[in-house]
Amino acid sequence: MVATNEQLDDIASYLAGKVATIAVGTDGTAETKTDTTIGNQVFSGAATVTSEGIGEKTFSVRLQAADADGDDLKEIVLLDSGGNLLARKTFAVISKTNNFELEFEYTEEVANA
C-alpha cells in the first residue's frame, strides 16, 4: 500500500503540531534514539514551522546577536510543550559571539519507503 500525498501531509502536520520549542546547547556527545534531554542548554525559543513540500515540515529558530554570546554551540533539539525531547542533532562547533545572528533549521520528511 502507498500513502497518498494527502496522508503524508496529514502525518507531517500531526508531528509538526507536537513541536513547541527549539533549544540549543553545548554538548557534542553523539545523538542516540534513547536521548531524553539536551546536554547543556544555553538558549531556547518558540519553533517556527513551515511546509516545504509534500510530507515535509521545517522547524526554525533565530538567535539574536546577544543570545548564547560566548558559547560553543554543538547541539539542537526539538521539544514538545511539556519539555520532552522529540529529536536531537549534534554538529561541528559554532562559537557564538554578539557579532552575528544565527538561524537554525531542522527539516523532517514523511515519505513512502
Residue 52, pLDDT above cutoff 90? no
**Residues linked to residue 59 through DSSP beta bridges, in sequence order:** 49, 106
Q: What is the pLDDT of residue 97?
A: 97
Q: What is the pLDDT of residue 113?
A: 79
Instruction: Specify the pTM.
Output: 0.89
Number of H helices, E strands in the chain: 1, 7
59-85 pLDDT per residue, tens: 999 999 999 999 999 999 999 999 999
Place of cell 519539555: 83
User: Residue 86: pLDDT band by 50, 70, 90 thresholds?
Assistant: very high
**Rounded to whole angstroms, how far apart are CA atoms 113 and 111?**
6
At residue 70, the 3 state secondary structure works out as coil
In the numeric block, the cell 513551515 is attached to: 50
| Spatial CA neighbour of 87 closest among 53, 47, 55, 52 | 47
